[in-house]
Protein backbone atom coordinates (compact mmCIF):
# COMPACT_ATOMS: atom_id res chain seq x y z
CA UNK A 1 0.00 0.00 0.00
CA UNK A 2 1.03 3.58 -0.66
CA UNK A 3 -0.05 6.57 1.40
CA UNK A 4 -1.02 9.84 -0.30
CA UNK A 5 1.28 12.42 1.29
CA UNK A 6 -0.45 15.76 0.76
CA UNK A 7 -3.59 17.52 -0.38
CA UNK A 8 -7.23 16.51 0.02
CA UNK A 9 -6.44 12.76 0.00
CA UNK A 10 -3.57 13.09 2.50
CA UNK A 11 -3.24 9.93 4.58
CA UNK A 12 -5.39 7.77 2.29
CA UNK A 13 -3.86 4.48 1.18
CA UNK A 14 -3.82 3.35 -2.43
CA UNK A 15 -2.82 -0.02 -3.81
CA UNK A 16 0.49 -0.66 -5.57
CA UNK A 17 0.83 -3.24 -8.35
CA UNK A 18 2.11 -6.57 -7.01
CA UNK A 19 5.58 -7.84 -7.78
CA UNK A 20 8.74 -6.03 -8.73
CA UNK A 21 7.64 -4.78 -12.15
CA UNK A 22 6.82 -1.32 -10.80
CA UNK A 23 8.69 0.63 -8.17
CA UNK A 24 6.43 3.39 -6.84
CA UNK A 25 8.31 6.46 -5.60
CA UNK A 26 8.68 6.71 -1.85
CA UNK A 27 6.31 9.01 0.04
CA UNK A 28 9.08 11.52 0.79
CA UNK A 29 9.96 11.71 -2.93
CA UNK A 30 6.34 12.26 -3.94
CA UNK A 31 6.03 14.94 -1.25
CA UNK A 32 9.18 16.68 -2.51
CA UNK A 33 7.80 16.62 -6.05
CA UNK A 34 4.47 18.10 -4.94
CA UNK A 35 6.25 20.76 -2.88
CA UNK A 36 8.18 21.83 -5.99
CA UNK A 37 5.07 21.69 -8.19
CA UNK A 38 2.82 23.56 -5.75
CA UNK A 39 2.88 26.84 -7.79
CA UNK A 40 2.04 24.93 -11.00
CA UNK A 41 -0.35 22.13 -10.02
CA UNK A 42 -3.64 23.89 -9.24
CA UNK A 43 -5.93 23.39 -12.23
CA UNK A 44 -3.18 21.64 -14.21
CA UNK A 45 -3.59 18.99 -16.86
CA UNK A 46 -1.03 16.27 -16.04
CA UNK A 47 0.46 13.43 -18.05
CA UNK A 48 2.22 10.43 -16.51
CA UNK A 49 4.10 8.59 -19.27
CA UNK A 50 4.83 5.44 -17.24
CA UNK A 51 1.94 5.16 -14.76
CA UNK A 52 3.04 2.21 -12.64
CA UNK A 53 0.95 2.73 -9.52
CA UNK A 54 -0.38 6.09 -10.71
CA UNK A 55 0.90 7.64 -7.49
CA UNK A 56 2.20 10.85 -9.12
CA UNK A 57 -1.16 11.39 -10.79
CA UNK A 58 -3.14 10.70 -7.62
CA UNK A 59 -0.88 13.06 -5.64
CA UNK A 60 -1.45 15.68 -8.36
CA UNK A 61 -5.22 15.30 -8.21
CA UNK A 62 -5.03 15.43 -4.42
CA UNK A 63 -3.22 18.76 -4.72
CA UNK A 64 -5.63 20.42 -7.14
CA UNK A 65 -4.77 19.22 -10.64
CA UNK A 66 -7.84 19.40 -12.90
CA UNK A 67 -7.18 16.21 -14.84
CA UNK A 68 -4.63 13.39 -14.99
CA UNK A 69 -3.82 11.27 -18.03
CA UNK A 70 -1.87 8.11 -17.26
CA UNK A 71 -0.17 5.90 -19.85
CA UNK A 72 0.47 2.35 -18.68
CA UNK A 73 1.52 -0.72 -20.63
CA UNK A 74 0.97 -3.41 -17.96
CA UNK A 75 -2.53 -4.80 -17.66
CA UNK A 76 -2.07 -5.55 -13.96
CA UNK A 77 -0.80 -2.03 -13.21
CA UNK A 78 -3.68 -0.55 -15.24
CA UNK A 79 -6.14 -2.60 -13.18
CA UNK A 80 -4.62 -1.24 -9.96
CA UNK A 81 -4.69 2.34 -11.26
CA UNK A 82 -8.36 1.99 -12.20
CA UNK A 83 -9.16 0.55 -8.78
CA UNK A 84 -7.36 3.40 -7.05
CA UNK A 85 -9.27 5.95 -9.15
CA UNK A 86 -12.56 4.34 -8.08
CA UNK A 87 -11.46 4.23 -4.43
CA UNK A 88 -10.55 7.94 -4.45
CA UNK A 89 -13.62 8.79 -6.55
CA UNK A 90 -11.58 10.60 -9.24
CA UNK A 91 -12.57 8.53 -12.26
CA UNK A 92 -14.11 11.60 -13.92
CA UNK A 93 -10.80 13.47 -13.55
CA UNK A 94 -8.59 10.68 -14.83
CA UNK A 95 -7.92 9.09 -18.19
CA UNK A 96 -6.04 5.79 -18.35
CA UNK A 97 -4.44 5.04 -21.72
CA UNK A 98 -3.24 1.45 -22.14
CA UNK A 99 -0.17 1.09 -24.30
CA UNK A 100 3.49 1.78 -24.89
CA UNK A 101 4.23 5.43 -24.06
CA UNK A 102 6.49 5.74 -27.11
CA UNK A 103 3.57 4.78 -29.36
CA UNK A 104 0.92 6.72 -27.45
CA UNK A 105 2.83 10.04 -27.49
CA UNK A 106 2.50 10.54 -31.29
CA UNK A 107 -1.19 9.68 -31.08
CA UNK A 108 -1.85 12.20 -28.31
CA UNK A 109 0.13 14.78 -30.28
CA UNK A 110 -2.05 14.08 -33.34
CA UNK A 111 -5.10 14.76 -31.18
CA UNK A 112 -3.64 18.17 -30.26
CA UNK A 113 -3.31 17.31 -26.56
CA UNK A 114 -1.23 19.63 -24.36
CA UNK A 115 -0.28 19.23 -20.71
CA UNK A 116 0.97 21.53 -17.94
CA UNK A 117 2.88 18.94 -15.88
CA UNK A 118 4.48 15.80 -17.28
CA UNK A 119 5.92 12.94 -15.21
CA UNK A 120 8.63 10.72 -16.67
CA UNK A 121 9.38 7.97 -14.16
CA UNK A 122 10.06 4.86 -16.26
CA UNK A 123 11.35 1.51 -15.06
CA UNK A 124 14.87 2.05 -13.72
CA UNK A 125 18.09 1.34 -15.59
CA UNK A 126 16.47 1.25 -19.00
CA UNK A 127 17.68 4.63 -20.30
CA UNK A 128 14.11 5.66 -21.07
CA UNK A 129 14.21 9.20 -19.65
CA UNK A 130 16.36 10.62 -22.47
CA UNK A 131 14.41 8.62 -25.05
CA UNK A 132 11.16 10.06 -23.63
CA UNK A 133 12.46 13.62 -23.90
CA UNK A 134 13.65 12.99 -27.44
CA UNK A 135 10.22 11.79 -28.56
CA UNK A 136 8.56 14.72 -26.77
CA UNK A 137 10.80 17.04 -28.82
CA UNK A 138 9.39 15.48 -31.98
CA UNK A 139 5.82 15.26 -30.70
CA UNK A 140 5.37 18.11 -28.19
CA UNK A 141 2.63 17.46 -25.64
CA UNK A 142 3.43 20.40 -23.41
CA UNK A 143 2.30 23.99 -22.98
CA UNK A 144 5.09 26.57 -23.11
CA UNK A 145 4.93 27.06 -19.34
CA UNK A 146 4.91 23.31 -18.61
CA UNK A 147 7.05 21.57 -16.02
CA UNK A 148 8.51 18.11 -16.67
CA UNK A 149 9.50 15.93 -13.73
CA UNK A 150 12.00 13.14 -14.48
CA UNK A 151 12.74 10.38 -11.98
CA UNK A 152 15.62 7.97 -12.47
CA UNK A 153 18.26 6.03 -10.61
CA UNK A 154 21.11 8.20 -9.34
CA UNK A 155 23.72 8.86 -12.03
CA UNK A 156 21.64 7.00 -14.62
CA UNK A 157 21.51 10.11 -16.81
CA UNK A 158 23.58 13.26 -17.13
CA UNK A 159 22.36 16.76 -17.86
CA UNK A 160 18.88 16.67 -19.33
CA UNK A 161 19.03 20.17 -20.73
CA UNK A 162 18.33 19.70 -24.42
CA UNK A 163 16.39 22.38 -26.30
CA UNK A 164 13.61 23.16 -25.67
CA UNK A 165 14.08 21.64 -22.20
CA UNK A 166 16.09 23.42 -19.51
CA UNK A 167 16.85 21.83 -16.16
CA UNK A 168 16.06 24.17 -13.28
CA UNK A 169 16.34 21.84 -10.29
CA UNK A 170 17.85 18.47 -9.43
CA UNK A 171 17.59 16.57 -6.14
CA UNK A 172 18.97 13.24 -4.95
CA UNK A 173 17.09 11.01 -2.51
CA UNK A 174 19.23 7.96 -1.78
CA UNK A 175 19.35 5.98 -5.05
CA UNK A 176 16.65 8.09 -6.71
CA UNK A 177 17.28 11.32 -8.55
CA UNK A 178 14.75 13.93 -9.65
CA UNK A 179 15.25 16.50 -12.38
CA UNK A 180 12.77 19.30 -13.01
CA UNK A 181 12.67 20.80 -16.49
CA UNK A 182 11.00 23.85 -17.94
CA UNK A 183 10.45 24.84 -21.55
CA UNK A 184 12.81 27.42 -23.01
CA UNK A 185 11.21 30.07 -25.23
DSSP E strand stretches across the chain: 2-3, 13-14, 45-48, 67-72, 94-98, 115-120, 142-153, 165-173, 176-183
- What integer pLDDT is reported at residue 27 of this predicted model? 81
Which range marks the domain in which residue 86 is found?
A: 2-183
pLDDT band at 23 (very low <50, low <70, confident <90, very high): low
CATH of the domain at 25: 3.40.50.150
Q: Which tens digits make up the pLDDT trace of 45-96? A: 999 999 999 999 999 999 999 999 999 999 999 999 999 999 999 999 999 9
Mean pLDDT (whole number) for 31-54: 95
pTM, two decimals, is 0.94
Q: Which tens digits make up the pLDDT trace of 137-181? A: 999 999 999 999 999 988 788 888 889 999 999 999 998 999 999
Number of domains in the chain: 1
Neighbours of 7 (CB within 10 A): 18
CA atoms within 13 A on the CB side of 182: 8
pLDDT band at 22 (very low <50, low <70, confident <90, very high): low
- What integer pLDDT is reported at residue 156 of this predicted model? 82
Q: Is the confidence at residue 19, as pLDDT, over 70?
A: no
Find the helix or strand (DSSP H, E) in which 95 lies: strand 94-98
Amino acid sequence: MLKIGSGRFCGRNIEAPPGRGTRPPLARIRKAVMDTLRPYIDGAMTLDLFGGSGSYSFESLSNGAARATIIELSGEAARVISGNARFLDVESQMELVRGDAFKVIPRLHGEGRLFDVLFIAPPQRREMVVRSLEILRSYPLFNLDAIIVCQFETKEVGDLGMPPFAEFKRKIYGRTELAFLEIEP
